[in-house]
Amino acid sequence: MTTPYIQLDTNMPRRLFVPLDKIKGDKVEQLIEKVLTCNQVFIYWQQENVKEWKSIAISPIDEGFGYRLNNSLWENSFQIIQIDNKGYVQNLPTSNKDNVTTHLDIAFNLSTTGNECGLYLSWNPKGVTSKVHGLYLVNNINQIEQPVKQDLCGKQYAVLAIPRIAFFPLENDKEPPKTPPDDGALNVFKGLFGIDERWQFRLKKPFLVLNKSVKPDANSRAFFLALDFGTTASTIACLPEQGIDAEDKPIFTPLHHLCSWTHTTLLPLLNEKMKPNGQISSRSFTWGQENDAIDGLFSPVPRHVRAKRFQLATEDNDKREATPGIIYVDDQNEFDELVTTHHECLIGFEAESFLTKKSSSNQINPKNFVFAPKRLIGTDANSSRVQEMLEGFKKVYKQQHPVEVYLQEFLDETLNKAILSGALKSRLSSLCYSYPVTWTKLQRQSLEVLLKSALNKSFFHEFLKTQQVSDEMSPLFCLDEASAAFLGLILKRFQGLEGSDLLRTFSPFEPDIEKACQYPKTMQVLVIDCGGGTTDMVLLSITDAGDKSNTPVVAKIYKHFAIDKGGIEVTRRIAEHLKSLLRYSETLSDEYLRTNLFDEKIKDSFLGDTSEPLELYRWRFCLNLYEQSELIKLALSQTDSTTINWADVVKNLSLPDFNSQTLQPTIEKASLQKWVSETYQHLINQLKLWFAEENQPALDCLLLSGRSSQLAGFREAIINAIPEEKRPLAIDFAEVGNYALEPRNDENQHEEFTAKSLVCKGLALNYWNTKAAFGKRPLECEPIDETRRTRAIGVLAENTSLRPQDHFDPEIELLIDADNQPIELEKEYLLTLDKATAKGFYLGINFGGKIKEGMILSEYPDPPQPFLRIDIDGGIKENFEKLIFYFQQVASTEIKLSKIEMYKKEGESNPIIKENIAMKPYEDTEVALGSALKVHLQIEDFRMTGRIHSLDADE
């Protein structure tokens, strides 16, 4: 007879609930009642030698919660065995007791309405001692049926023997017995009168937790991942490689409400009939979702875990299905699970839940949060600037980049969700991802490097076809976010179309057959993708050369533009307004209104005459402003006016008497529309310039994607920027709410998630189209042409605080002009710095170059974004007379620093020369010239810096 087994899909850690049967003792209600009066409980674990027991004292039992059992209680009952090729058990030397808990962690739970007990097992197949292929749960090792099945032979397994577990409450002053109450005559006699104190439990039936061996091969069913890594939130889909179901309909399954394995408990259904092969069924329960208990008896997360992990679901989570871009790491290792061998942090919904529940605590460290990790792409996380922002994070993760840490956890949560949803197949063929149009090549390379590292360290690694991450990261399957959003619309609205069908669908009816058959045909599409941190705008020209050409239908980006602003900037504008209202009402003095977390000596300062740490106060205030501003932003997108909850703005703050009666009680939609207009003004101005060109054709389709596209006033601003004669038909103006022409029964996501998942859909369709069978004519999106000088690069102006301004320095010529000419790879671009007190400079990048003569700076549609920062350490000490930097352009958004010449004295003819400078994708490049030179991108997120307002010297 085969030992019953549960099949697991991966080697990632899992939490299992193992039901036990009560074999002795009165009703559990009486046990709990006695426990509450005795205040002392001992748990006994019977050893394989049935005459021997081990015991430990635990805290009094609370109803419905579990307690962790110290491994000293059960470590002698845990061992690693080898099953030989003939199917027989071979005992191995005793496992290293120091490493037992890297494999297994145990807690227990008593039901409050029945006579049952259960064990929570946190089970890691890899552990430290060895990788095992399964976990036997038996009363004793002899219960393993031998010989075992052939496919289990030649492997190692863990065995946990659970002969019996006993509970014994005892009065405080008494010494516990070495064994629990036995079957002596006195106890048997007591049992006859309903006062049996022999509370003992045992395993319902032995079973095996078996890890499915993942052996990727070319013939197995493959899947791929489509990732939209966003600034404020991310979405991902786990999809079949072939992309169609039995009825030839495209399959798209976005994974939402991601959570760590720690929130999911697997329950074996031991009472149900097992399959002929011995497999038994199981159910999964996720903490904080529909099921808060197992059959109404047990909590899916034991008490000792609940004390440090955080429930995912809140009232709003169901509306925000994309995973928030937030990390919290604790330098006390509070969130580490014993069975895991690496440091764990909180991300996404759990980090957000922790932030909500603990923000009022004096123990929380604001520097341990990382908001919007995507904004750190292309920066050196070890630079002094970023180090200050990531102080708590770097204490734990040292050299690791926050994006790598976030993505590794995100991928593991994805795997957990894919297992629960049944989307997991046997081989990972590819990971497709999107990137903002505004990103430089350096940033795209950085994301690729970090994604490869995260994938390699995640549990998805065992699903790789070749075990080589680089094989799964082909740039063929990656797209800019705007182009991906358009393909997502095609999948959403038409369930995927071949390219020629797409043009016929959008083209007006042509009654003349001869003209209808003329090729090439083209259509014009404007896509604006509005995210939390960036907003991308592209004009696509889609061309069909005709069926006879046997070529794909090609979508080419012929114009593109982007701004490094999005929904977060609108939130900041609202927060700035709230601070202004407080300031001008004179309700609070300036010292209570500042939020800048980078003031000098802030760590050693206190608020006024109080003992409140100034840094913690400001962080709470900044967080309150952010949360209230987000609520206002969302409310005003749906109503004409909303109330300002001033109590929430000042919650958990040490304030003098605060009276909100004199403060403005509401805020109007017109104010939000004004801030939206100002935030996106440069984008709107650029759009007007495009459509002012005589040769700009009319649009066949206009798509607004991304969650920020729903902001009040944004839609109207876009429509008004396009001349009426060049607008598409109303049906071809796609926005949230009408992506699909009619409701689909298989999609019930909220509109916000629908907007967010559009890019994921496009990545999926792009993958399927790129791998399309011969003879089909799919729609293919060409990436942006990087071989021409389409971006201007130059030195940015700086203010007195050496902060970059939104225009190029008028006294310095552009390094590279955006003349759309082919890039000359060997050409050197010189930049001379001859100021002895120089500290460095910023290089900025934009599409249009310097402001045109006669144009007002505030009306310039294309302010340059900080591109690179050149720091000169020691320049202020007059260590040089002149520095000459030699740059070479590699791509439209990529330059490399090829050489530096340093002249120490005026008229010197033999400078110090440094050549062949290797610039790394996301690390500082340091060159020793008597002064150190560092290159990195400027990064800013007000939730991390607290710089909301000019009051905070954020000029």
Read off the pLDDT of residues 98-115 as tens digits, 9 standing for 90 and up: 677 778 888 887 765 546
Tell me the DSSP string of 843-892. EEEESS-SPPTT--GGG-S-PPEEEEEEEEETGGGT--SEEEEEEEEEET
CA distance 887 to 872: 17
Which range (20-34, 387-401, 576-590, 623-637) has the least confidence? Answer: 20-34
N-term to C-term CA, the chain: 76
Tell me which residue of 367, 348, 362, 263 sits closest to 309, measured CA to CA. Answer: 263
Q: Give CA torsion, residues 257, 259, 265, 269, to 10 deg.
A: 40
Place 425 in a pLDDT band, splitting at 50, 70 and 90: low
Residue 932 β-bridge partners:
873, 928
DSSP state of 28: H
pLDDT of 370 over the 80 cut: yes
At 46-98, the pLDDT tens digits run: 887 667 888 888 766 554 556 788 888 888 888 888 888 888 888 766 555 66
Going by DSSP bridges, is the β-strand pair 894-903/912-915 parallel, antiparallel, or unpaired? antiparallel
Mean pLDDT value across residues 487-509: 77
Q: Where are the domains positioned within the chain? A: 5-182+191-211, 567-674, 788-944
Least confident of 426-435, 461-470, 537-546, 602-611: 461-470
| pLDDT value for 256 | 80
pLDDT at 648 over 70: yes
- The strand pair at 264-268 and 282-286 is best described as antiparallel
Residue 691 scores a pLDDT above 80:
yes
pLDDT of residue 942: 66
Write b or e for each residue in 616-655: b if 16 or more Cβ atoms lie within 10 A of its Cβ, otherwise e: bbbbbbbbbbbbbbbbbbbbbbeeeebebbbeebbbebee
Higher confidence at residue 674 or residue 517? 674
Angstrom distance (rounded) from CA 932 to CA 190: 84
Question: Residue 745: what pLDDT?
Answer: 47
Cα 132 to Cα 103, 221, 664, 826: the distances in Å are 9, 25, 64, 56
**827 CB-contact burial (10 Å; exposed 0-12 / middle 13-18 / buried 19+):** exposed
Q: Is the pLDDT of residue 860 over 50?
A: yes
pLDDT digits (tens, 9 = 90+) for 236-279: 988 887 765 544 445 566 788 888 888 888 888 888 888 888 88
Non-local (6+) Cβ contacts of 142 within 8 A are: none
Number of neighbours of residue 16 by Cβ within 10 angstroms: 20
Q: In terms of pLDDT, which residue wins out, 466 or 99?
A: 99
Q: Would you place residue 384 in the very low, low, confident or very high pLDDT band (cuts 50, 70, 90)?
A: low
Structure tokens at 753: 């998630």
Neighbouring CB atoms inside 10 A of 801's CB total 8
Count of CB atoms within 10 A of residue 856's CB?
Answer: 7
pLDDT of res. 248: 46
Q: How far is Cα 288 from Cα 263, in angstroms, rounded to an integer?
A: 8
Residue 325, Cβ neighbours under 10 Å: how many? 27
Task: Determine phi and psi for 406, rounding to 5 degrees.
Answer: -60, -45
Q: Which of 25-29, 71-75, 897-901 has the lowest mean pLDDT?
A: 25-29
**Distance from the Cα of residue 488 to its chain's centroid:** 21
Q: Which of 55-69, 444-458, 604-618 is predicted with the least confidence, judged by mean pLDDT?
A: 55-69
pLDDT in tens, 671-686: 999 999 999 988 898 8
pLDDT greater than 90 at residue 175: no
Residue range 404-410: mean pLDDT, rounded:
93
What's the mean pLDDT when you consider all of the chain? 79
Please give the share of the chain, as a percent, with pLDDT higher than 90: 12
The 10s digit of each residue's pLDDT in 742-758 is 655 444 455 556 777 88
For 911-945, the pLDDT digits (tens) are 888 787 766 554 566 676 655 555 444 455 666 67
Condensed to tens digits (0 to 9), the pLDDT of residues 706-727 reads 888 889 999 999 999 999 999 9
pLDDT above 70 for 768: yes
CA gap 374, 433 in Å, rounded: 13
**How far is residue 96's CA from residue 119's CA, in Å, rounded to a whole number?**
23
Decide if pLDDT at 26 tops 90: no
Beta pairing class for 701-705 and 521-530: parallel
Q: Tokens representing 953? A: 């010297």
The pTM of this model reads: 0.82
Q: Which pLDDT band holds residue 40 (cuts at 50, 70, 90)?
A: confident
Contact 317, 257 (CB under 8 A): yes
Of 324, 325, 383, nearest in space to 938 by CA: 383
